[in-house]
Amino acid sequence: MYIKASDGSFDGEIDLKIDPAIPETLTITVTDQTKHEQKIINLNVIDDGMTMTDDEKLLLTMTIGDDNTILFSNPEDESAITIAFDQAAYTIHFTNVSPEKSNAASIVLDPQKNLLSLTIDGNEIFSAIFDKANAELNVNIMESSNVLQFVDAEKAITGSLEMLQSTVKLSFENAENKIAVSIGSSLDDLMEMFALSVDKEAKSFNIIAFGSPIFQAAVDSVNRTVTIIDEKGQESVLTEDDLNQMIEEMSKSAVPGSDSKPGTVKFQ
């Protein structure tokens, strides 16, 4: 399998091979033509896990325990990572031990309580609990408490965000095909900050910020053009060739030296 990195850091091949005489071993050969190097890594399946070796040493050992644990150990730096699954508590525990330090973390995904949480070294970093009765999502991040409420009648999501000391409302207006974000000190003091609306008949969409349009685009299928109006009211008309040239330039900028062909725009 040939691979070429866009930044030029790797240009070579990766080959996978299993010798029928040693079916428990997968040999990975990495040939880097840029550095003129070749490295061979062997993944060996053992009774209770797997080992990873190269031509010189043991790189990694994975051991699956009978107590719902997986142990990853690196003999070179004497580090080890343990993953333990506690099915009764719907919890996954992670422990990282090295000569310099040790860390512990746990993730809880409890369907009975509709709870998701992350704890690191005994400190709860994140938790989210969904209250079905009140259609609320309580999210705690570090020491801030935030509440999101789903209001079906208004087709909206409101949030009391302690971290921002503000109230946020995300609303969906079907009649105008519009999505809007409003922020204020309370639900009675909201200001529309951002809105996106789509006009299906006109084949256009508008982006509005603080009540003023900042971007508008409309597709003209007959003349095969796209008309764009920026925040200053300046209008530009782009043809298929203009759009394809923009896509090509963006592709070259994003992936320097890439030989891949970008997609093209064609009006139906």
Amino acid at 114: N
Kindly state the average pLDDT of the residues 42-61.
90
Amino acid at 101: K
Q: Which pLDDT tens digit goes with each residue over 117-156?
A: 999 999 999 999 999 888 999 999 888 888 888 988 888 8
Q: Residue 187: count other Cβ atoms within 10 Å of its Cβ.
A: 13
**Where does residue 224 rank: exposed (0-12), middle (13-18), buried (19+ CB within 10 A)?**
middle
Q: Give residue for tokens 């971290």.
A: 163
Q: How far apart are CA 72 and CA 78, in angstroms?
A: 11
Please give the pLDDT value at position 264.
54
Please give the pLDDT value at position 86.
94
Q: How far apart are CA 190 and CA 168, in angstroms?
A: 8
Structure tokens at 62: 């994975």
Residues 194 and 211 sit within 8 Å (Cβ to Cβ): no
Kindly state the average pLDDT of the residues 74-80.
87
Please give the pLDDT value at position 244.
83
End-to-end CA distance of the chain: 38
Model pTM above 0.85: no
Kindly state the average pLDDT of the residues 106-116.
95
Q: Which pLDDT tens digit goes with each residue over 251-265?
A: 766 555 545 455 555
Kindly state the average pLDDT of the residues 102-113.
94
Of 197, 189, 190, which Cα lies nearest the Cα of 214?
197
Q: Would you say the C-alpha torsion 247, 250, 254, 259 has a positive or negative sign? A: positive
